[in-house]
Structure 1
Amino acid sequence: MGRLASLYLFAYNAAQACGWTIALIKLILTVSSTNSFDGAYAACGELICLLQFSAVMEVFHSAIGIVPSRVLPVLMQWGGRFHFVAAIISQIPEVQKLPAVFITFMSWSLSEVIRYPQYALNTIELCPGWLTWLRYSAFIVLYPIGALIGEMPAMYKALPYIKKKNIYGDAFNKLPFSYYSFIVAVLVCYPFLWLKLYMYMFKQRKSKLGKRGESKKALRPKIRVE
C-alpha cells in the first residue's frame, strides 16, 4: 500500500471512529438522563445516517483494492444498514421510538468504536494485539443482537406504517411490486443473508487471529534439545 493511501485510510477510519464515539456517548447520555430508550433516534439518528452514508467509501476501497476486503460482503452490509436507517427509520416517526432502534444503534456504535480504531491503527502499523482480538471477537455477540433483535423487529414493526402511508409509492408505481412487498421479501431473506455474512466474518476471524498466532509462534525462541 502506498504512503498516500495509508494516510488517507488512517484519516478516514479515524474520522469514522470519532463520529461513532460521539454517537455512542449521545446514546448513553440520553438513556441515563431519561431512563428510556425512546430518544435514541432523536439523539443521534441523523448522525448515524450520515456516518452510514459516508461508509459507502468502504465499498470503493474494496473495489479499487486499497483494502483486502471482498466487495460483495462490504456492499451487502453497507446497503442493508443504510437502507434500514435512511429509507425506513428516518421516514417513519412512529418507529423511531422503538426499543429495537436503540438496540440497533447501540450494537452498531459498540462495533464501530472497536472496528474503526483498529483499522486506523493498523494502517500505520501501531495496532495493539488486544484491539485486533477484540475487533474480530466482539462481533460474535454484537452482530446477532443488532441484526436479529434490533433491525429485523424494527422493520417488521414498520410494515403497517409502510402499507398505510404507501411509502415510496410513486417510486415503485411502475414496478410489479410495492415497497411493502419488497420489505416483506427482505425480511424473509434476511436471516439467510445475515447468516452468510456472519459465517464470512468468522472466516475473517480465523484468518486474522490465526495469522497472529502463527507470528507469535515464529517469534518464540526455539529450544534445542541435545
Structure 2
Amino acid sequence: MSKTKGIGAVETYLVAYNAASFVGWAYILVQTVMYLLEHGTNLNGLFDRIGYALIYIQTGAILEVVHPLLGLVRTSAFNTAMQVYSRLLLVWGVLYSFDSPDIRASPALVLMVLAWSITECVRYSHYALGLMNIEVHALLYLRYTLFYVLYPAGVSGELLLLWPALSHAGAIHPALKKFFMLNMAGYPPVLYKLYTHMIYQRRKILGGSSRPKSEQATADTSSAKKKKL
C-alpha cells in the first residue's frame, strides 16, 4: 500500500461519494448477514430490516449517471443509466410496489442483496482508495475476480424476484406484466456483454500483459477516476 500527493476538489467529492456508498452497502451487507444468523431461513422480517435502506441507497446511484454528464468521470452515461435503471426497477418497481411474501420474504432477495452488497463494497472501496492514490492489491484482485460468481448470482436473484412480480403486475394491468416480461428478456444479452467485458478487463489488468503485476495495479489505481463509479 502506498500514498502519493493530495487530490483536488472533484476528486475529493468523488472520494466522499464512493466512501458514503461503501458505508451504505456495508450496512446492508452486515444487517443481512446478522438477520440470517439470527433468524435462519425465516425471511419474513428481512425486508423490514433492510428494505427501505436498500431502496434509498440504490437510488443514490442515480448520481453515477450525473457524474459523466458533468464530465466528472470518463464513462458512458448511457451504459451507466441502463445499469442503474435495471436496479431501480427491482427496488422501486418490485420490492417497494409489491408487499407480498413471495417477493419480500423470498430467498431470491437474499441472493440478490448479498451479490449486490459484496460487489458494491469492493467496487466503491476500490475506487475511493484509487482516487486517493492508495493501492490495495487485494481489492484490485477481488474487483476483477468476484464477478465470476457475483454477476450470475445477482442476475439469478433479480430474475427470481421478477418472476413472481409478473402475476402482481398482471393483476394491475396486462401492459405492466408485458413491461416486466420485456425487461426479463433483456437480461441474457446484457449479462453476456457485462460478463465478457469484465473478463477482458481482468485479463488486461491482472494478466496477459508484459508489465509486472505491480505496475498493472498502479496503472489501474491511478486511472480509477476515469472509470465507472
Distance 1:218 1:68 in 2: 22
Trace 1:83-102 onto structure 2 (pairs within 5 A): 83-94=89-100, 95-102=103-110
Distance 1:196 1:213 in 2: 26
Distance 1:117 1:212 in 2: 25
Distance 2:213 2:181 in 1: 48
Which of 68, 72, 76 is matched with 2:78 structurally?
Answer: 72
What per-residue deviation string (whole Å, max 9, x for no partner) do you get for residues 173-223 of structure 1?
A: xxxx7111111111122211222222222233334335987254769xxxx
**Secondary structure at 2:190's aligned position in 1?**
helix
Which of 129, 139, 143 is matched with 1:131 structurally?
Answer: 139
Structure 1: which amino acid aligns with 2:53?
Answer: L
Distance 1:197 1:41 in 2: 28
Which of 10, 16, 40 is matched with 2:15 structurally?
Answer: 10
Percent identical pairs in the alignment equals 29
Structure 1: runs of 5+ lacking an equivalent: 170-176, 220-226
1:223 corresponds to which residue? Answer: none
Distance 2:42 2:209 in 1: 39
TM-score by length of 2: 0.83
Which of 159, 162, 169 is matched with 2:166 structurally?
Answer: 159
* 2:182 is the alignment partner of 1:185: yes
Structure 2: which amino acid aligns with 1:65?
Answer: G
**Are the aligned partners of 1:37 and 1:98 in contact in 2 as well (CA < 8 Å)?**
no
Structure 2: runs of 5+ lacking an equivalent: 1-6, 217-229
TM-score by length of 1: 0.84
Q: Which has the higher contact order (CA 8 A, sep 6+)?
A: 2
Which of 116, 126, 129 is matched with 1:121 structurally?
Answer: 129
Distance 1:73 1:52 in 2: 17
Gap change, CA 1:47 and 1:100, over 3 Å in 2: same
Distance 1:31 1:104 in 2: 14
**Are the aligned partners of 2:122 and 2:143 in contact in 1 as well (CA < 8 Å)?**
yes
Gap change, CA 1:49 and 1:73, over 3 Å in 2: same
Distance 1:41 1:88 in 2: 12
**Are the aligned partners of 1:41 and 1:96 in contact in 2 as well (CA < 8 Å)?**
yes
Gap change, CA 1:104 and 1:218, over 3 Å in 2: closer
Q: CA deviation at 1:62?
A: 2.5
1:143 corresponds to which residue? Answer: 151
* 2:31 is the alignment partner of 1:23: no
Q: CA deviation at 1:84?
A: 0.7
Number of matched residues? Answer: 207
* 2:202 is the alignment partner of 1:194: no
